[in-house]
A and B are shown apart, each in its own frame.
Chain A
Amino acid sequence: MYKLTGVTKRYTRGKETVEALRGVDLTIEDGDQLVIQGPTGGGKSTLLQMIGGLDRPTSGSVELDGVDLASISEAKLTRLRAEKIGIIFQSFNLIPTLTAQENVETALVPLGVKPAERRERAAEALRSVGLGERLTHVPTELSGGQQQRVAIARALVKKPKVLLADEPTGNLDEGTRDDIVGLLEGLWHEYGLTFIMVTHDSSIARRAPRLATIKAGQISLTEQGGARRATPGPSAQAPEQQQYAQQFGAAQGY
């Protein structure tokens, strides 16, 4: 469970101090899905970075299961990211020289997983997102949607507790966007992940059971109905999405 209390983040840009977050209080239960929306520069990506342990607040605390990410050592924070948090980026952020399988393996390297097991788990993760035939392709040989699937496989291969997505459909066309969102929602719903997604896309934001809107560093929450918390098990997803979820789940042992 996440508990953010009075989280403030200030940046200094030249002589100017920018307050990206202003005393944000937020609780996210295990298995919750939360979509964060807001205008550019409103602080949504900064909030995601605090939640993901990628940055520390200027003041306030960010607790994950009782551990304050703002005050633990850099080494412990790095380890926590490696074990518990999966992150998906808008620009996919794949290593351009590595194959799809090797890119997925990079998430297992800090966990000390042996090479043979690493390869096997990465291949399974890729098969579960529909890229079983693309294991040896480098990113430039894949479409945008396929690259994001590789990134999803990389985020989930380590069986994280939390899945963070920073505008995961920002660089995708409409059709691919729906596929990816459907895949992510299916994975969240089926396997009980805590799923937090930043988006500026209102159509995606409307689908979320819980919406956090950030403006000028301040947050407001809206309950939009629907299942707020993931309930593991088959759901009324599109057949294609169900297939991905089933394959992925089998591979991950969820």
Chain B
Amino acid sequence: MFGIYLKRELSRRKKAALVIAMGLALGIALVITVNSVSAGMQQAQGKVLKSLYGLGTDMTVTKARTAPTSSSSGRPKFDFDAKSDSSTTQSSDRVMTQGGQSLKSSLVTEVAAQKGVASAVGALSLNVTKVDGSFTQGKAKSSTSNSGQQGGPGGQNGGGSTGAPQVQGGGASFDVNSYSVAGVDVTHQDLGPLATSKITTGKTFTAAQTSAKVAVLSKSYAKQNKYTVGKTFKISGTKYTVIGIATPDSSESTTDVYLPLKQAQTLGDAKNKVTTIYVKATDSKQIATVKATIQKNISGTTVTTSADLADTVSGSLSTASNLATSVGKWLSIAVLIAAFLVAALLTSSAVSRRVREFGTLKALGWPSRKVTRQVVGESIVNGLLGGVLGIALGLGAAYTVTAISPKLTAELGSTGGGGGMGGGPGGGGPGQQAASAAKNTIDIALTAPVSVTTIALAAGLAITGGLIAGAMGGWRASRMRPADALRSVS
């Protein structure tokens, strides 16, 4: 009788059942969406951190940041001679270590020797600013004699009086390109900047190529400059042969050119120096301890773990993440409570409308528990219906977010006053290397993965909602006296 009665009542009161179910469904859908977007945010942050670290990297060691001095302002200098022949093109590369901060290579061995460290690999991050163009002399001319004199650039008027020489012609036309270079320890490529990329064309460095003039290019850089495997290119006059094209595991990698570490050190005039030491701990649970050990034993260094990096993520990714975890969480709780209340009130109201029905059953000798069970049963089915609808809506919303993949920007390191970031060599415009080194901007697409746990949570909430509504309705029904029920209709 319970099942038949329940089925008939629900099919008779489809509209009311649907209203209750939809209320619960909205709350549940919101919970699923917020949960999945939060999971997406975490994944995005994870990707950002992974792109900076590389696979298997637990922490990085960089030089502790010091106040810049006048001699190490970090600004590149370019020397050009003005030529009389405008067709003469000049080119100048300026290579700088990223952030102007470097560590002695010997520290890599020291770090590797620390307790809890499984392996340590050094890498050098450089920024190359290439300026190509022509710089032509202007010609000084007198209005009376017309005799040519050399003047300064810009073709300015030499003076205001009649007969004074005037500079005509001359000028400059330059292209400025900047790209990043990473010096890789070719003997330990499983850790370090190249660990997050796959060689998709050609091959990677061999262990023997410690001093070879060979390079691996990122896919995007190679495409942009039309470099292919086997071709050569120059940095500061040194010719390198492209041996492989690397595709990063995530789109966040910012290194354009990978060179053997020694070549990078020569290029950056940083012999026996590295900018970042990549560290793998023996036990991933002991990272904090290892960090403390390194900082204690090796002075002048900053150790950055993924947890530290996560704190420095800012930009729209951080804002969205904060929104999802704070506003989204509270919003979904508020909507869920509202949905529960609406379901409870509607169920209670439905019970009030069924006074005659329940009064009759009690008059026939139905105990209160049987009447209550009927009401609770109907509410649980409503809740489950709401759960199914909510899960469908939530999955739809999560799928839509994933399909749209809104782009979020993560800014890293802007708040890190204590040291350099994990060594992700970022590009930067001329004269902005220091700023770029401190602030690494990464675009990342947001997804909204729905886990089984989230679905289970939704199902649990649906049943809870049904139980709350049923408890309220059942309580009203159980307090109903048959005489009151019959009196109200007779």
Measuring CB to CB, which residues of chain A are less than 8 angstroms from any residue of chain B?
45, 49, 52, 54-55, 75, 78-79, 81-83, 87, 89-91, 93, 95-98, 102, 105-107, 109-111, 115, 118, 154, 166-167
Contact call A54/B364, Cβ cutoff below 8 A: no
List 15 extra interface pairs beyond A83-B365, A95-B5, A109-B1, CB under 8 A: A52-B363, A54-B481, A55-B482, A78-B362, A79-B365, A82-B365, A87-B364, A95-B360, A96-B12, A102-B4, A105-B1, A110-B364, A110-B367, A110-B370, A167-B490
Which residue of chain A is the closest to B482 with respect to CB atoms? A54
| Cα–Cα distance between A111 and B364 once the two chains are bound (Å) | 10
B443 beta carbon closer than 8 Å to chain A: no
Contact call B12/A82, Cβ cutoff below 8 A: no
User: How far does the Cβ of A17 sit from chain B's closest Cβ, in whole Å?
Assistant: 16
Measuring CB to CB, which residues of chain B are less than 8 angstroms from any residue of chain A?
1, 4-5, 8-9, 11-12, 356-357, 359-368, 370, 481-483, 486-487, 489-490
Interface of B is mostly: helix
User: How far does the Cβ of A217 sit from chain B's closest Cβ, in whole Å?
Assistant: 15
A97-B12, A102-B1 in contact; A87/B370 too (CB < 8 A)? no
A45-B490, A78-B365 in contact; A55/B483 too (CB < 8 A)? yes
Residues of A within 8 A of B9 (CB): 97
Looking at B5, B8, B363, the one whose CB has the most chain A CB atoms below 10 A away is B363
| Cα–Cα distance between A166 and B360 once the two chains are bound (Å) | 13
User: How far does the Cβ of A215 sit from chain B's closest Cβ, in whole Å?
Assistant: 19
Residues of B within 8 A of A49 (CB): 483, 486-487
| Cα–Cα distance between A110 and B487 once the two chains are bound (Å) | 23
| Cα–Cα distance between A122 and B1 once the two chains are bound (Å) | 13
| Cα–Cα distance between A75 and B369 once the two chains are bound (Å) | 11
Contact call A110/B486, Cβ cutoff below 8 A: no
| Cα–Cα distance between A82 and B360 once the two chains are bound (Å) | 12
Contact call A109/B489, Cβ cutoff below 8 A: no
Residues of A within 8 A of B5 (CB): 95, 97-98, 102
User: How far does the Cβ of A214 sit from chain B's closest Cβ, in whole Å?
Assistant: 15
Our pick among B4, B370, B490 for the contact of A89 (Cβ within 8 Å) is B490
Residues of B within 8 A of A98 (CB): 4-5, 8
| Cα–Cα distance between A106 and B486 once the two chains are bound (Å) | 17
Contact call B363/A45, Cβ cutoff below 8 A: no
Residues of B within 8 A of A91 (CB): 356, 489-490
Which residue of chain B is the closest to A85 with respect to CB atoms? B365
Contact call B490/A154, Cβ cutoff below 8 A: no
6 CB contacts below 8 A, A to B, read A55-B482, A78-B365, A81-B363, A89-B360, A97-B5, A97-B8
Residues of B within 8 A of A109 (CB): 1, 366, 370
User: How far does the Cβ of B6 sit from chain A's closest Cβ, in whole Å?
Assistant: 10
| Cα–Cα distance between A166 and B11 once the two chains are bound (Å) | 31
Which residue of chain A is the closest to B365 with respect to CB atoms? A82
Contact call A110/B8, Cβ cutoff below 8 A: no
Which residue of chain A is the closest to B6 with respect to CB atoms? A97
User: How far does the Cβ of B17 sit from chain A's closest Cβ, in whole Å?
Assistant: 13
Our pick among A95, A107, A118, A154 for the contact of B357 (Cβ within 8 Å) is A95
